[in-house]
Structure 1
């Protein structure tokens, strides 16, 4: 029997991404090698349709001393020329198109659709399964069209894997949808059709946006775990990180507590002469950190206001429906024929008004409120990679301080003529000099990658907000025109009472 808490338990400490534990036994060299190996199957700069050639990355030459530089930065010339654009046919279908090196669109794409959910099992042991259909002609995938079934915990497992591999390199991983205890419990014990359940539709839409955002990232889209998630037939191995009460969940919780304390207590010394050099982008990070903090505050305020507006719009639609039923009852008992007919038409009118207002409430929610919620999570992911940069700086500074102590110790041995300890001390100095060099190089690389990631985020943010606001205004105008036409058709009925 599956654990009902696995699908529904909320984390006690909210954090957009899980920080990488330096003491864990990860092998970034092996992981990054897999990514590069997969990238050889696709070149978004190739103009010839149906031709897949190995991708070339333009990177600064640097010694191979850090896992960070083994993953190509997301906004190299290749990635910039292949910046994806989303074309949305409807709320359920998204397509990612590449742009060739000469600025002309080519015919390669990836289209991901999360279909309606189906419930497996009964009672509190039940869970939802979503059908995911993918169409693509990217050579990194084995087929051009495939369909798999995934449960919600599989999406969370994919997110955890991507975070574990890419956040330590400074890459922004789109956050997965949040767990919802109340909504999922109602679905488990409910007898209604899932197609009419608002919670199920909201989650389906959020899961689809999550996959689409991953597919828009030039590095994440070729990640082996993402490709396995979309392609592997049958069930995925269960992730031990998605259940709060599991051993891995408890370790994750403790790690989050320690990481939260570290964020509060530690501040990077921005006056340190070591990070004043241009390659560390100090001024850019100072300005962008302030911008991200302000953006986070404003997005949360606007999202709160939109949630309230959606609630009020739904209440207005419900009240219109109540008025329609009351008008119908009054029309049935009215003796005056003209007035009875008018009340009956008024009841029909308000039924249509209720439908129009409900549709507008859905537009408010899916076109704006959910977009803002997604970006609150993305801003949280940016803040997390900023903190990851601070952690790399901490490691570098610790190595620098330890090196200073080792050099002082070596000097004491040399002055005291303790020759038997000098060789060991020299070896330790050389070892820590290497760690300092690696720490500096990692800090330079993660600063560079984060800068590229945030700049790419800004471009996509402006484009997506523009498209969503334009679409929202079009829907709002259509809705108001519909309401005006409804009232215009009712006007002759109202005037006919006097005749």
Structure 2
């Protein structure tokens, strides 16, 4: 499920993460045997250091309460270990958290500084406050997405027992994980290209023998496309509210200048109207933030989670193709009466692997449906409640503007 973002307060980017009751995980909330959270985060230049706090009663761990410091690359390393482990081929691997990206906020702050001379001091102050709030919101979301990734692993009955996950949580030293160099990035790209090509080829040539998985594949392809389109539209809507708020700053500043220059009855009207636009600006910003957290980020998260589900279907289809190839190899071996025992063993192994993957995959896909429906429903209800709350505050402003 997508994150419910929680408050992080400190002007130095040294954040103390407070859990809110609104936060939810798609797991058994009564299971407290392994609890993982990010209790603190520190931004240092281009890097973010996350303090991962673990509380557990599992005997596999040396301590019951401990913390380690991790960077984004180590989260990616952990995700890759799960992706590469064939034992997890029948499971939906939680999507990795996105890389921390504060370049956009920094560029906006830099441009604002360059344009300081073209605006009033009050206008510059408000614009700077808005950009700083945007930077902090981005930081909060970054921390939340990294925590959600860990919580998904910690609350999964199989993933929580993984050795690499335990090392990630418990090993106090640096994991010595570095970013990929150019050669490794090229290799990753080529593997991704090969996988995509194989996926397209299998999709057009391999017929699925199970109607459930065939329907799931068609549904997820359409669903992912619709999620992508909905996310783009939600982002545009969020940006529109943000732009309105920025324009309210300019209108409010102009009205205040007018009030200062005029000494007649217009002064009172301009001052009061400027105050109304300032209040409206704060509400528009709040609306923009709420839509971003409750709608855009929910859609974006499930777009990535749907990709993880599609990867599961691809792995199963590849397993099915290998199983059918083993069947054909066995038929040839029997026809030639050569290497029959080896062919039978290979066919048995392929059959067993395919059946296990199908059983686990079906459970995972059903659980995925339950999780996403519950999470999207919850966030949409919360968004509607917030929209109504903001509307109830905005309406009186219109009447006060009319009466002024």
Q: Does TM, scored on the shorter chain, surpass 0.5?
A: yes
Q: CA separation of 1:465/1:154 partners in 2, compared to 1, >3 Å: closer, same or farther?
A: same
Determine the structure 2 residue equivalent to 1:438: 349
2:67 partner SS = strand
Q: CA separation of 1:450/1:196 partners in 2, compared to 1, >3 Å: closer, same or farther?
A: same
Pairs within 5 Å for 1:164-203: 164-165=84-85, 168-179=88-99, 183=103, 186=106, 197=135, 198-203=137-142
CA separation in 2, counterparts of 1:361 and 1:196?
Answer: 11
Determine the structure 2 residue equivalent to 1:477: 388
Q: Is the 8 A contact 1:158 1:226 kept in 2?
A: yes
Note the alpha carbon deviations across 1:93-137, whole angstroms, 9 max, x for none: 35659759xxxx5665625135343205xxxxx422223334455
User: Over aligned residue pairs, what C-alpha RMSD do you find?
Assistant: 3.3
Note the alpha carbon deviations across 1:138-180, whole angstroms, 9 max, x for none: 5554444333222111111111112112675211011113347
Q: For the pair shown, which has the larger CA radius of gyration, 1 or 2?
A: 1
Determine the structure 2 residue equivalent to 1:419: none
Per the TM alignment, residue 311 of structure 1 is displaced from its structure 2 partner at its CA by 0.9
CA separation in 2, counterparts of 1:116 and 1:205?
Answer: 10
Indicate which of 395, 408, 412 corresponds to 2:322.
Answer: 395
Which 10-residue stretch deviates more, 130-139 or 199-208?
130-139
Q: Is the 8 A contact 1:117 1:194 kept in 2?
A: no
Which 10-residue stretch deviates more, 206-215 or 150-159?
206-215
Pairs within 5 Å for 1:330-369: 330-336=258-264, 338-369=265-296
CA separation in 2, counterparts of 1:135 and 1:323?
Answer: 51
Q: CA separation of 1:99/1:312 partners in 2, compared to 1, >3 Å: closer, same or farther?
A: closer
Q: Work out whether 1:379 is the aligned partner of 2:321.
A: no
Q: Is the 8 A contact 1:174 1:214 kept in 2?
A: yes
Pairs within 5 Å for 1:50-449: 90=6, 93=19, 94=23, 99=28, 105=30, 110-113=35-38, 115-119=40-44, 126-137=46-57, 140-165=60-85, 168-179=88-99, 183=103, 186=106, 197=135, 198-238=137-177, 242-243=179-180, 245-247=182-184, 249-267=185-203, 276=209, 282-336=210-264, 338-410=265-337, 425=338, 428-449=339-360
Q: Is the 8 A contact 2:316 2:354 kept in 1?
A: yes
CA separation in 2, counterparts of 1:407 and 1:482?
Answer: 79
2:182 partner SS = coil
Q: Is the 8 A contact 1:96 1:109 kept in 2?
A: no
Q: Is the 8 A contact 1:115 1:130 kept in 2?
A: yes
1:129 partner SS = strand
Structure 2 runs not aligned, ≥5 long: 8-17, 114-127
CA separation in 2, counterparts of 1:214 and 1:106?
Answer: 13
Structure 1 runs not aligned, ≥5 long: 1-84, 121-125, 277-281, 411-424, 495-499
